[in-house]
Chain A
Amino acid sequence: MRQLSKGNVAVIRGAILAGCQAYYGYPITPASEIAEAAALYLPQVGGTFLQAESEVAAINMVYGAASAGQRVMTASSGPGLSLMQEGISYLAGAELPCVIVDVVRGGPGLGNIAPEQSDYFAMVKGGGHGNYRNLVLAPASVQEMADFTVLAFELADRYRNPAVVLTDGFVGQMMEPLELELKTVEEPEKPWAVKGTPETRPNLVTSIFLEPDDLEAHQRKLEAKYKRAAQLEARYETYMAEDAEVLLVGYGIVSRVLRTAVEQARQQGLRVGLFRPITLWPFPSKALAEAGARCAALLDVELSNGQMLEDVRLAVNGKVPVEFYNRVGGNVPSAEEIHDELLSRLAALA
């Protein structure tokens, strides 16, 4: 039942399972295999693949296809996502569903092509202009690259909003067994779409509301939607967290390193657990606050300069000390490194 697949390729396998009809993108390392897989597979199942002239064009092609009611996606890495931010704001403003995959590389600027988690602010907090949110999922394995792409399509349609699969170069490039199951695609009706038919002739896709009262009403509607998503869609995973004195917090590839670190710590009799946010927006604040309340300290580990750290601290709201450890530039800490760090922090706490 299993097949060995690259994370980036698994994204497209998931997309095809989800009934994705179109992919518009621009190549960039370490995300290019997503475009390549889309080019190879989508046209074979009757879908559209087009390599755009830029990420700017790509995200606006996504906007056009989404306006017409298609399940559509794009993928890129940091620099490309920076260029797409304008379009993502328009998509959110016009309430258009789509899936955007960010295989994060080192930044800022051209940075490098090694894995980082430095696009957290850009994708989770917005990045484009205006009051909007992206739904953000953070896979940690090849299987989740496929599964979360499927979920992202469902969430995007459910909330008429861009959904982001935020991952990194390692998860994109690595290979693991992938198990897929054919399922019937249940795509919601999109009566708002513009399809060039008599029924859809009155429809208008737009993000412009020139009168302040109109725009305020539109934003209230978006806020209500985001509030609903925040209540229903927060996802997370814990590992040996029930009796943990120290809770490690990390997402994506880091959560796997932390899982190994937890195992090593437990072998030495240290009560260490893991909290792994799966959705970065909505952030699983409530669950983290509850899990954190039982602990003496939290250690947040990231491949960024402390971007998720703000959400972790907000979640526990000063009730538990939150320590921070990071590697950047494309370095990924080993489990041993985390373990050593943990011991030195514990010594300092004692």
Chain B
Amino acid sequence: MVENEESVLAEPEYELLHSRSEVFYDRFERKSELKHQTHYCPGCGHGIAHKLVAEALEDLGLQDRTIFVSPVGCSVFAYYYFDLGNVQVAHGRAPAAATGVKRACPDKIVIAYQGDGDLAAIGTAEIIHAANRGEHIAVFFVNNAIYGMTGGQMAPTTLVGQTSTTSPWGRRPVNEGFPLHMSELLATLEAPAYIERVALSDNKHIMGARRAVRRALELQREGAGFTFVEILSPCPTIWNMQPVEARRWVAEKMIATFPLNVFRDRKPTIPEGKNPPQRSVAEVLGLEEAGGKITLAAQAVARPQHHLKKLSIKIAGFGGQGVLLLGQLLAEMGMREGLEVSWLPSYGPEMRSGSAHCHVCLAQERIGSPLISHPDVLIAMNELSLRKFAPQVAEDGLIFYNREQLPDNFAAPQARVFCLPATEIADHLGAGKVANVVLLGALLEETECLASETAVAVLETKVRNPQLLELDRQALAAGRQFVDKEAHNDAISQSDGFAY
């Protein structure tokens, strides 16, 4: 009795005027034994919405260029129907994932297909920001005022008074707020190119929806920007209605709450702004290719054997005194002289009005902990730092203090203390902010840990402003001279900590 199914279908006894879109698969694989099976309920709007999208893609010749992003919800299985490149994503995140896809494939058509729970509840942030960025994606938003797949819970678009399993006495705005009007909300944004709300309530409205879906995809093909079609859609099973009754409910109740309208249809004017320069990887990374070998620009010749074995320096002061910068200068200098270096800052917003400090390690060998508990040198740019960190300095260490003399009631540490009014010297030169470079000069002159020529070379590459560079040179020289003079006067403090 039963004939071979294939042969029956191969020779239809009727003339086919319309058939399944090429964009659909022949079979719904999840129920592969039944050729015409679908997982959507009788009267569900998804079937129609899918068909409108598929037919538009076919007619516009976009099948091979389209990537379809399916959501969580009843349409989670959209990829079983659409013969397209498919990406299935997390609940509510389709606009974000579609953003990643589109930016990777800018000349392709990217569709995000979402339900109301997905788009208007959990994914509210993602849809608003994708729309606001004017992402070049088409979003089809199927609004049936209910959570379908999870079994009928309240949606953000559930109507006032509409019952659901989580609003058993009907949606009460006093408790759950009002239905969310996503199209109107998105229409307040500058970037979207096209926003329309349509309904699958009857054939006339379905034809309107068909036109809107096509428009949204045509605009994608033209590269117009963000396009959004909200599709009011029946959900007979969860609404507990017959399909015809459900369609009527869309027409009478849903449209009354969510008026149909073209909220936006214009190509947005989006200023391009300043385009980043295009450079090679080598250029961007500061590497230059020279004769097949990569060298660093402005690289000083490394000394094979440095006289300095190991030195740890802690620099502390107020935020804004150039504490961190001084540390970076020292690290850069050490590196240029062929040493191993590390620079470890104190970091964070609370440091801005308080103390900032950093640790610099210079060594011939690989540096272990970049954190210094007993520095060889402390550069204290204010009294607070001196009092706080002086006790940590190694016994045979050295402290540079940014004042003419030590503060009163200061318990002298065992380390040698060198006082110099770096800020005053810098002020005298014309800019208090170069006090850190004055201290650098003093450090170099006193300890000879690194060469002052290296300091000048580093400053030349780091300081772009020629006036400031000149100030820095003067500051460096002033710091060195101060040490020279004081040394001549035998004025370096004694180990009892008092400076004369």
Stretch among A131-139, A148-156, A254-262, A312-320 lining the B interface: A254-262
Q: Which residues of A contact B126 (CB under 8 A)?
A: 53, 56-57, 60
State which of B64, B90, B99, B347 has its C-beta within 8 Å of the C-beta of A198: B64
Tell yes or no: A306 within 8 A of B by CB: no
Tell yes or no: A122 within 8 A of B by CB: no
Q: Is the CB of A207 within 8 A of B285?
A: no
Tell yes or no: A344 within 8 A of B by CB: no
Tell yes or no: A212 within 8 A of B by CB: no
Interface string of B76-104 (1 = CB under 8 A from A): 10010001111111100100111111111
Given contacts A22-B100, A57-B96, contact A44 B79 (CB under 8 A): no
Q: Is the CB of A56 within 8 A of B125?
A: yes
Given contacts A256-B368, A259-B368, contact A41 B86 (CB under 8 A): no
Q: Is the CB of B89 within 8 A of A90?
A: yes
Chain A residue at minimal CB-CB distance from B293: A1
- The 8 A-B residue pairs with the shortest CB-CB distance, nearest first, are A64-B100, A196-B108, A260-B368, A68-B104, A64-B97, A60-B96, A65-B100, A334-B373
From B76, B105, B129, residue with most partner A Cβ within 10 Å: B105
Tell yes or no: B341 within 8 A of A by CB: yes
Question: Can you list 6 residue pairs at the A/B interface with Cβ under 8 Å?
Answer: A2-B335, A44-B278, A57-B93, A63-B89, A90-B89, A175-B343
Q: Is the CB of B296 within 8 A of A2?
A: yes
Measured CA separation A285–B281 after assembly (Å): 38
- The number of chain A residues touching the other chain, given as a range, is 35 or more
Interface residues, chain A, CB within 8 Å of chain B?
Answer: 1-4, 13, 16-17, 21-22, 24, 29-30, 41, 43-46, 48, 50, 52-54, 56-58, 60-70, 72, 86-87, 90, 94, 112-114, 169-170, 173-177, 180-182, 194-198, 200-208, 210, 253, 256-257, 259-260, 263, 332, 334-337
Given contacts A17-B285, A86-B90, A207-B88, 12 further A-B pairs with CB under 8 A are A4-B332, A22-B103, A29-B347, A56-B126, A58-B96, A64-B101, A67-B87, A70-B100, A175-B342, A182-B281, A196-B110, A337-B373
Q: Is the CB of A201 within 8 A of B88?
A: no
State which of B65, B99, B294 has its C-beta within 8 Å of the C-beta of A61: B99
Task: Give, as a whole number of angstroms, the nearest-CB distance from A89 to chain B.
Answer: 9
Tell yes or no: B469 within 8 A of A by CB: no
Q: Which residues of A contact B341 (CB under 8 A)?
A: 4, 176-177
Tell yes or no: B174 within 8 A of A by CB: no
Q: Which residues of B contact A113 (CB under 8 A)?
A: 347-348
Q: Which residues of B contact A61 (CB under 8 A)?
A: 96-97, 99-100, 103
Q: Is the CB of B371 within 8 A of A332?
A: yes
Measured CA separation A223–B190 after assembly (Å): 48
Chain B residue at minimal CB-CB distance from A254: B369
Task: Give, as a whole number of angstroms, the nearest-CB distance from A134 to chain B.
Answer: 17
Measured CA separation A64–B93 after assembly (Å): 10
Q: Is the CB of B129 within 8 A of A53?
A: yes
Interface string of B359-394 (1 = CB under 8 A from A): 000000001111101100000000000000000000
Task: Give, as a whole number of angstroms, the nearest-CB distance from B233 to chain A.
Answer: 22
Q: Is the CB of A60 within 8 A of B85?
A: no
Chain B residue at minimal CB-CB distance from A113: B348
Q: Is the CB of B63 within 8 A of A57?
A: no
Q: Is the CB of A203 within 8 A of B125?
A: no
Tell yes or no: B199 within 8 A of A by CB: no
Q: Is the CB of A69 within 8 A of B284?
A: no
State which of A1, A2, A64, A257 has its C-beta within 8 Å of the C-beta of B371: A257
Q: Is the CB of B104 within 8 A of A70?
A: yes
Given contacts A61-B99, A70-B104, A194-B85, contact A174 B345 (CB under 8 A): yes
Given contacts A194-B101, A205-B87, A334-B371, contact A182 B287 (CB under 8 A): yes
Chain B residue at minimal CB-CB distance from A262: B368
Task: Give, as a whole number of angstroms, the nearest-CB distance from A273 to chain B.
Answer: 14
Q: Is the CB of A64 within 8 A of B87?
A: yes
Q: Is the CB of A60 within 8 A of B97?
A: yes
Tell yes or no: B466 within 8 A of A by CB: no
- The number of chain B residues touching the other chain, given as a range, is 35 or more
Q: Is the CB of B278 within 8 A of A46?
A: yes
Measured CA separation A90–B90 after assembly (Å): 7
Q: Which residues of A contact B374 (CB under 8 A)?
A: 336
Q: Is the CB of B87 within 8 A of A65?
A: no
Q: Which residues of A contact B97 (CB under 8 A)?
A: 60-61, 63-64, 67
Task: Give, as a whole number of angstroms, the nearest-CB distance from A37 to chain B.
Answer: 10
Measured CA separation A203–B68 after assembly (Å): 11
Measured CA separation A70–B125 after assembly (Å): 24
Q: Which residues of A contact B108 (CB under 8 A)?
A: 195-196
Chain B residue at minimal CB-CB distance from A24: B100
Tell yes or no: B328 within 8 A of A by CB: yes
State which of B65, B84, B93, B294 has its C-beta within 8 Å of the C-beta of A87: B93
Q: Is the CB of A68 within 8 A of B328?
A: no
Q: Which residues of B contact A50 (CB under 8 A)?
A: 99, 103
Given contacts A87-B93, A170-B344, A182-B294, contact A196 B88 (CB under 8 A): no
Measured CA separation A173–B381 after assembly (Å): 22
Tell yes or no: B66 within 8 A of A by CB: yes
Q: Is the CB of A182 within 8 A of B369?
A: no
Q: Is the CB of B331 within 8 A of A48?
A: no
Given contacts A57-B129, A64-B99, A198-B64, contact A16 B335 (CB under 8 A): no
Q: Which residues of A contact B299 (CB under 8 A)?
A: 1-2
Q: Which residues of B contact A332 (CB under 8 A)?
A: 371
Tell yes or no: B286 within 8 A of A by CB: yes
Tell yes or no: B177 within 8 A of A by CB: no
Q: Which residues of B contact A200 (CB under 8 A)?
A: 85
Q: Which residues of A contact B67 (CB under 8 A)?
A: 68, 194-196
Q: Is the CB of B328 within 8 A of A175?
A: yes
Q: Is the CB of A64 within 8 A of B347?
A: no
Tell yes or no: B166 within 8 A of A by CB: no
From A3, A21, A41, A194, residue with most partner B Cβ within 10 Å: A194
Measured CA separation A174–B278 after assembly (Å): 29
Q: Is the CB of B370 within 8 A of A64?
A: no
Tell yes or no: B282 within 8 A of A by CB: yes
Q: Is the CB of A169 within 8 A of B347?
A: yes
Q: Which residues of B contact A114 (CB under 8 A)?
A: 348
Tell yes or no: B291 within 8 A of A by CB: no
Measured CA separation A144–B10 after assembly (Å): 64
Tell yes or no: B295 within 8 A of A by CB: yes
Task: Give, as a whole number of angstroms, the nearest-CB distance from A290 to chain B.
Answer: 24
Q: Which residues of B contact A175 (CB under 8 A)?
A: 328, 331, 342-343
Q: Is the CB of B344 within 8 A of A173?
A: yes
Tell yes or no: B52 within 8 A of A by CB: no
Tell yes or no: B69 within 8 A of A by CB: yes
State which of B83, B285, B296 has its C-beta within 8 Å of the C-beta of A13: B285
Task: Give, as a whole number of angstroms, the nearest-CB distance from A252 to chain B.
Answer: 12
Tell yes or no: B349 within 8 A of A by CB: yes
Task: Give, as a whole number of angstroms, the nearest-CB distance from B404 to chain A.
Answer: 32
Q: Which residues of A contact B332 (CB under 8 A)?
A: 4
Measured CA separation A3–B285 after assembly (Å): 10
Q: Which residues of A contact B89 (CB under 8 A)?
A: 60, 63-64, 90
Measured CA separation A60–B98 after assembly (Å): 9
Q: Is the CB of A196 within 8 A of B65?
A: yes
Task: Give, as a whole number of angstroms, the nearest-CB distance from B16 to chain A.
Answer: 24
Measured CA separation A201–B64 after assembly (Å): 6
State which of B64, B129, B344, B369 has its C-beta within 8 Å of the C-beta of A259: B369
Q: Is the CB of A181 within 8 A of B371?
A: no
Tell yes or no: B276 within 8 A of A by CB: yes
Q: Is the CB of A22 within 8 A of B369?
A: no
Q: Is the CB of B87 within 8 A of A170?
A: no
Q: Is the CB of A22 within 8 A of B104?
A: yes
Given contacts A45-B281, A176-B342, contact A69 B104 (CB under 8 A): yes
Measured CA separation A195–B97 after assembly (Å): 13
